[in-house]
Amino acid sequence: MSETATRLRGKDLLGIADLEAAEINLILDTAEAMKEVASRPIKKVPTLRGKTVINLFFEPSTRTRTSFEIAEKRLSADTLNIAIAMSSVVKGETLIDTAQNLEAIAPAIMVVRHGSSGACHLLARTCRAGIVNAGDGTHEHPTQGLLDAFTIRERKGRIQGLKIAIVGDLLHSRVFRSNILLLTKLGAEVWACGPPTLMPPGLERLGVHPTTRVEEAVEGADAVMMLRIQLERMQGGFFPSLREYFNVFGMTPERVRLAKPDAIVMHPGPMNRGVEIASEVADGPASVILDQVTNGVAVRMAVLYLLAGGGENEAAA
């Protein structure tokens, strides 16, 4: 199961759905080397020198954009951040036009976050640059899935055979979609828990165990992953109140005790304390939430390095 590829097949990273297990292992292994760079006094390698990476964000993001930007800078890429707060969209420029204007600058890679599922696929079909999906609608957020897997592997030494519980708004979560695809490809036993109004159909078909009982999901788990609950979901009538949500699904110390004694607790951020996760858990000994942030940089360095042609002629760092 630890089969490893030597390169990625595509020019883009659009989703975990397109990756084989061997490619996932390649990214995770490469990320280990990249993480070592961060421990050096000079946290920079010349790998992407002379290459331009554009961070094209159509949705607000602090964490993911910053993580990509630091990853790009540590690889010595020239980076350009473009936050389109729907301004050009309001003026009427289409996504394809925006991207083609940026293509004229000849970037090697465009890192794209967009509110529409499939937006990155549309760009990948029309752009020469490699497209890295930094979150498209409610579809996928592949680098988040990869950094979550990296964090689990770092703590547990493996992913195969682990019981992993994912709890929260499964229906609208791109983090969830990337994670279930990735974790099942690497052989984990994935349990998915949330209110039935926020559960997408067909989870069993993917080999995921759905449940509405959080205790069942968490019991004996090696890792518990919480997903963010957005306030507007309550207004959309998916559940009655944040208070009730916390009572039924919130990750409390009592519920964490149902998991394995050495279980880890994860959250992709930003957290709603007291909604999906109790502060005692978020700040407790099982929490690896800040490790996830640190690992995000290494994983994104690995993805950018591999997509920009690394691995074909030189070793990382």
Partner 1 sequence: MKRLLKGARVVDPASGVDGIRDVLIDGDRIALVGTSIPAAAAAGAVIVELGPSLVVCPGFVDMHVHLREPGYEHKETVATGTAAAVAGGFTAVACMPNTNPVNDNASVTRFILKQASAANLARVYPIGAVSHGSNGEYLAEIADMREAGCVAFSDDGRPVATALLMRRALEYAGMFGMPVIDHCEDRSLAGEGVAHEGFHAAQLGLRGIPSAAEDVMVDRDIVLALATGGHAHIAHLSTAGAVRSVREGKARGARVTCEVTPHHFVLADESLREPLVYDTNLKMNPPLRGGSDRDALITGIRDGSIDVIATDHAPHHADDKRVEFDRASFGIVGLETAVSLGLDRLVHAGIIGLGRFVELLSVNPARILGVPGGRIAAGDTADITILAPDLAVTVSAAAFRSRARNTPFDGWTLRGGVAATLVGGRPVFANPGVPQTSGFERS
Give the interface with partner 1 as residue ranges (CB under 8 A). 17, 94-96, 114, 116-119, 121-122, 136-140, 171, 174, 177, 200-202, 205
Catalytic residue chosen out of the listed positions 4, 11, 63, 252: 63
Nearest approach, Cβ of residue 85 and partner 1 (Å): 17
> Does 91 participate in catalysis according to the annotation?
yes
Which CB sits closer to partner 1, 115 or 253? Answer: 115
Which CB sits closer to partner 1, 50 or 205? Answer: 205
Nearest approach, Cβ of residue 77 and partner 1 (Å): 27
> Does 7 participate in catalysis according to the annotation?
no
Nearest approach, Cβ of residue 24 and partner 1 (Å): 18
DSSP assignment of the chain equals -----SS-SSS-B--GGG--HHHHHHHHHHHHHHHHHHTSSS----TTTT-EEEEEESS--SHHHHHHHHHHHHTT-EEEEEE--SHHHHHT--HHHHHHHHHTT--SEEEEEESSTTHHHHHHHH-SSEEEEEEETTTB-HHHHHHHHHHHHHHHS--TT-EEEEES--TT-HHHHHHHHHHHHTT-EEEEE--GGG--TTTGGGT-EEES-HHHHHTT-SEEEE-PPPHHHHHTTSSS-HHHHHHHH-B-HHHHTTS-TT-EEE--S---BTTTB-HHHHTSTTB-HHHHHHHHHHHHHHHHHHHTTTTSSS---
Catalytic residue chosen out of the listed positions 114, 139, 141, 300: 141
> Does 63 participate in catalysis according to the annotation?
yes
Which CB sits closer to partner 1, 71 or 124? Answer: 124
Nearest approach, Cβ of residue 119 and partner 1 (Å): 5
**Is the peptide bond prior to 270 cis by the omega test (within 30 degrees of 0)?**
yes
Nearest approach, Cβ of residue 38 and partner 1 (Å): 32
Nearest approach, Cβ of residue 117 and partner 1 (Å): 4
Which CB sits closer to partner 1, 199 or 293? Answer: 199
> Does 267 participate in catalysis according to the annotation?
no
> Does 9 participate in catalysis according to the annotation?
no
Record the tokens describing residue 302, joined without a space: 């690995």
Which CB sits closer to partner 1, 156 or 177? Answer: 177
CA distances from 309 to 47, 83, 302 (A): 10, 26, 11
Catalytic residue chosen out of the listed positions 35, 65, 74, 113: 113
Catalytic residue chosen out of the listed positions 30, 47, 52, 64: 64
Which CB sits closer to partner 1, 41 or 202? Answer: 202
Query: So which residues are the catalytic ones?
Result: 63-64, 91, 113, 141
